């Protein structure tokens, strides 16, 4: 009986101790023997700790990716770290005391460096660019990191001797005991009876709501100034753009009359030509003078030469990307260009993200120079190297306009004859693109060419080949062969065929009517305008058709009602 009583007493004493012990014992919220990182109201434990050197804070790349900027890029080959925002491109190399901000040098107090093969980056000079607040509390050896927010929630203690606990429970250990009255702290989250808080000294934990009074402070966040009116639109109607193909030398345009309704010409002047990122230049200042004298903008085109391997090499090297961008900036300024059109085709699917990275690094610098930015994309398809490598949604967020190359439905190597761009194929493809690209940024590509298809029997099999021809050449064939044209309502084109020397020839014609029909989609889906390939392939009447369609402000319903009988539109 005596032993039983003693056991009961021991249990009672233990219960009392367990009940009161949390209110006696305190514990540190920090990990020992290291500089602790606090993000908001949380101590970050399972990650590389910050480094403090000469009063400067260095954060590891994993910390930055996890808590500041997931898109920061580390190019190990050249030892370069790159940050991008809509307005800024920041790059720095390890062990160099100079960083580049939008191509301008900025001196650093301490360089980025590799520690155990992990990049560590001096972060304070980036705080405004990355919209963060960061400070070092030497007393507790902690680094505090906060993202910029529009409202800060605060609290002050309204009683003496309140405690902050490690977790939201009165059974939890105390991390800061006997706080004085009016002790300020920041609030990060709350439950029914607790606030998650952080004191000015960097102590994080939980305090009961009954001990504090909560307030809020609105923070004015300055919006960055727009470096360019990226929503450039023509004075009248929709954009009417045409590509100008330049093979070796730009054509003499001095005797070319003004094209009514045309807004933008995009000459194919620039191309990446080697593995070092050299950009070949065929620009002609006389062409720019001619264009500007007629009121056209000039958006110089740069291509990747449609070379997958060359493109892979330059996209995956930070120094080579920078070299390409700097050349574009120099040429744009030298030739007084109004914009740049990016035409990268035939790219490995594995380089999808790096094409987007190129645009992340290029766009802020082009905008700073006052340039309109556009990029060409294909229709969606299963081809990795012709379609899937475009991250159309991400690209549309970086550029002013996306030009959809809505043609080559049946390309030159097609196994069957067919239209270059029949109406229903264009519309269905357009709808798929609009799932990712805003309509106000989309230029619908129109073909000024068609194909003459040749079908011949060889050893019992039909061999199909084709030749791209201009509208004028197609008209010559009609006249020469005395062809009867048939309106094909599905393709929205006239169709004809003829047989010569036992070979069947087929043509789906692009003319003013087919162009008018496709351009009606601009009004139907309220797109930004058109981009046509290419000048010189069209008949003169096509320009009148486009001017009427894009500049007369007719709605799609008005246009359809006026033309449905002619085009069998129901």
**What stretches of 236-346 adopt beta strand conformation (E)?**
239-244, 264-267, 270-272, 279-281, 297-303, 339-343
pLDDT of residue 16: 46
How far is Cα of residue 248 from the mean position of the Cα atoms in its chain?
32
* Side-chain half-sphere exposure of 304, counting CA atoms within 13 A: 25
- Output the pTM of the full model: 0.92
pLDDT of residue 29: 86
End-to-end CA distance of the chain: 101
**Alpha carbons 455 and 505: distance in angstroms, whole number:** 6
**Which residues are CB-neighbours of 159 under 8 A, at least 6 positions away?**
181, 211
pLDDT of residue 567: 57
Identify whether the C-beta of residue 394 lies closer than 8 Å to the C-beta of residue 356: yes
Cβ atoms within 10 Å, residue 26: 16
Identify whether the C-beta of residue 464 lies closer than 8 Å to the C-beta of residue 417: yes
**What stretches of 87-232 adopt beta strand conformation (E)?**
89-93, 98-101, 104-107, 113-115, 118-122, 132-137, 142-147, 151-157, 162-165, 174-179, 184-190, 194-199, 204-208, 212-218
**Which residues are CB-neighbours of 96 under 8 A, at least 6 positions away?**
108, 111, 112
**Alpha carbons 63 and 38: distance in angstroms, whole number:** 11
**Alpha carbons 548 and 414: distance in angstroms, whole number:** 34
pLDDT of residue 227: 45
Domains of the chain with CATH codes: 36-147 (3.30.457.10), 239-447+513-567 (3.20.20.80)
pLDDT of residue 561: 60
pLDDT of residue 46: 86
Identify whether the C-beta of residue 58 lies closer than 8 Å to the C-beta of residue 122: yes
How does pLDDT run across 114-123, given as a tens digit for each residue?
999 999 999 9
Positions in the chain short of pLDDT 50: 13-14, 16-17, 19-20, 226-229, 555-557, 570
pLDDT of residue 568: 57
**Alpha carbons 83 and 92: distance in angstroms, whole number:** 9
pLDDT of residue 557: 47
């Amino acid at each position: 009986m005596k032993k039983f009583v003693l056991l009961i007493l021991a249990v009672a004493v233990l219960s009392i101790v367990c009940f009161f012990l949390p209110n006696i014992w305190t514990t540190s919220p920090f990990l020992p023997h290291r500089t602790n990182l606090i993000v908001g109201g949380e101590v970050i434990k399972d990650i590389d700790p910050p480094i403090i050197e000469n009063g400067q804070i260095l954060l590891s790349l994993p910390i930055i990716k996890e808590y500041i900027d997931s898109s920061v890029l580390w190019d190990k080959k050249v030892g370069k770290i790159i940050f991008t925002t809509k307005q800024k491109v920041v790059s720095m190399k390890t062990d160099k005391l100079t960083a580049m901000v939008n191509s301008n040098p900025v001196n650093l107090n301490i360089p980025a460096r590799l520690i155990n093969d992990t990049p560590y980056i001096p972060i304070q000079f980036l705080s405004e660019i990355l919209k963060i607040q960061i400070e070092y509390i030497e007393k507790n050896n902690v680094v505090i990191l906060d993202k910029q927010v529009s409202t800060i929630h605060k609290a002050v203690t309204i009683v003496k001797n309140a405690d902050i606990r490690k977790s939201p429970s009165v059974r939890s250990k105390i991390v800061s005991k006997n706080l004085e009255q009016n002790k300020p702290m920041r609030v990060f989250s709350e439950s029914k009876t607790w606030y998650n808080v952080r004191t000015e000294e960097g102590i994080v934990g939980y305090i009961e709501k009954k001990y504090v009074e909560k307030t809020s402070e609105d923070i004015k966040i300055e919006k960055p100034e727009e470096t360019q009116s990226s929503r450039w639109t023509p004075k009248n109607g929709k954009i009417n753009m045409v590509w100008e193909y330049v093979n070796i030398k730009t054509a003499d345009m001095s005797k070319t009359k003004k094209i009514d309704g045309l807004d933008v010409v995009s000459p194919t002047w620039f191309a990446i030509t080697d593995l070092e990122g050299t950009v070949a230049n065929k620009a002609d200042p006389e062409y720019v003078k001619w264009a500007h004298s007629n009121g056209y903008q000039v958006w110089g085109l740069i291509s990747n030469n449609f070379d997958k391997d060359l493109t892979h090499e330059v996209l995956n090297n930070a120094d080579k990307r920078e070299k390409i961008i700097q050349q574009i900036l120099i040429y744009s300024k030298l030739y007084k260009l109004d914009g740049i059109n990016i035409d990268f085709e035939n790219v490995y699917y594995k380089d999808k993200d790096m094409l987007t990275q190129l645009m992340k690094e290029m766009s802020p610098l082009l905008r700073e120079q006052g340039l309109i930015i556009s990029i060409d994309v294909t229709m969606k398809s299963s081809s990795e190297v012709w379609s899937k490598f475009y991250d159309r949604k991400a690209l549309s967020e970086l550029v002013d306009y996306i030009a959809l190359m809505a043609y080559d439905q049946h390309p030159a190597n097609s196994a069957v004859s067919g239209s270059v761009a029949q109406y229903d194929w264009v519309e269905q493809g357009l709808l798929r693109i609009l799932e990712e690209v805003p309509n106000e940024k989309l230029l619908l590509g129109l073909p000024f060419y068609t194909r003459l298809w040749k079908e011949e029997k060889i050893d019992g099999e039909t061999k199909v080949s084709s030749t791209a021809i201009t509208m004028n050449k197609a008209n010559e064939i009609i006249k020469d062969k005395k062809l009867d044209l048939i309106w094909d309502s599905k393709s929205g084109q006239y169709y004809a065929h003829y047989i010569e020397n036992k070979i069947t020839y087929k043509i789906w014609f692009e003319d003013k009517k087919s162009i008018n029909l496709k351009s009606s989609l601009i009004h139907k889906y309220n797109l930004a305008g058109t981009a046509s390939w290419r000048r010189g392939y069209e008949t003169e009447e096509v320009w009148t058709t486009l001017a009427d369609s894009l500049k007369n402000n007719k709605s799609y319903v008005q246009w359809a009602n006026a033309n449905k009988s002619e085009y069998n539109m129901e």
